[in-house]
Structure 1
Amino acid sequence: MRRLYIVLYYVLVARLPGSRFSRALSHLRRWYVSKVLGIMAADAESEFQNSIYIGDGSKVRIGKCCKINENVFLQGGDIGDYVMIGPNAAVLTKSHRHESVDIPMIKQGETEDRIPVIENDVWIGRNAIVLPGVRIGTGSIVGAGAVVTADVPPYSVVGGVPAQVIRRRLVSRRDSAEERRAAVPPVACNERPMPCESGST
């Protein structure tokens, strides 16, 4: 029966329009992946957009209040709460073997699964790639197009290929009030925050 549910997901459910076009159909997809497939926490604040690859679903676990955007490739992942994954990102569990130069790489098979861990309150940008077995710490941001090859410390901003720490989100308590104010540019009174639109991550 599980196989039938997965086939139905790819043939029909994953193809339903995203929330930009139909909130009702998007809610139906969220209900399906949470209640029928059981890979995502069932809560009204989560979003699970169209055309997301999940394999057979057995290696994917997604926490509450998460936003998984369109065309995300999830081979697997232990994903915490309040996580955003931007469009076209990939979270991988395995790769091709390439140790031997005497055997074509296509004939060497694949590595064993190593499930990445994405902790709470993480934002993974558009087109980023998370390689097998890495852990992305709580509160971290992975820049668009980055390739994460190693663990990311909590509250870090990383970017590049391979991804490197650009800065820390936490400000040391030893820093002066002036330094903290300088780290966060003031917002003019006439400026308004942009609305949060689906697919903007």
Structure 2
Amino acid sequence: MKDEQDDSPLWTRAVHDDGAAFAALFDRHRPRIYRRTLTLTANVHDAEDITAAAFYELWRKRKSVTLVAGSVAPWLLVTTVNLTQNHRRAAARYRKLLDALPRDESHAPATDAEDLEARERLRATIRGLSPQDAALLVLTGVEAVPVWQAAQAVGLEPPAARVRLHRMRQRLQRDLHDLRPSVRNAPEGTS
């Protein structure tokens, strides 16, 4: 990970119920966890709730959490992905209920249809991943965590993580191949 401070001294104190040490860890990692949650949810309020829930889970499970390369960030990122997927499932059930209700469509907001479709297709593809694969993708592809650290954070051996990442890239390319028409339509031999 990118030049992070070693969380070990603070974490040792936090595990022994030192609230000030946990608060320091919260202050250190909250901005990054919030940014990642916001990209996964695209909703400020949901991102705030999920970020708070991730830190609550960290405190609640502090006796069993293992640091990865001296940092609690990978554990928080994996937890954030899992909480986001749980939130999505609950929101989908709620949305299904709301969609069944009659409503007036004349006040629907105008959006860029292509941009909306691209985002939704990407989210749908990511939603189709297992929680472990989604966490692995976020850690390596978005957070730039080395594969060996991401593998440890999600409970895989590095070779297995590499194979999963390769398969996910192939799936994303297959599912989203038409989202970049300028690349697809470029004549061979040019880029």
For this structure pair, what is the TM-score category when the shorter chain's length is used for normalisation?
under 0.3
With the length of structure 2 as denominator, give the TM-score of the two structures.
0.24
Greater relative contact order, per chain length (Cα 8 Å cut-off, separation 6+): 2
With the length of structure 1 as denominator, give the TM-score of the two structures.
0.24
Larger fraction in helix: 2
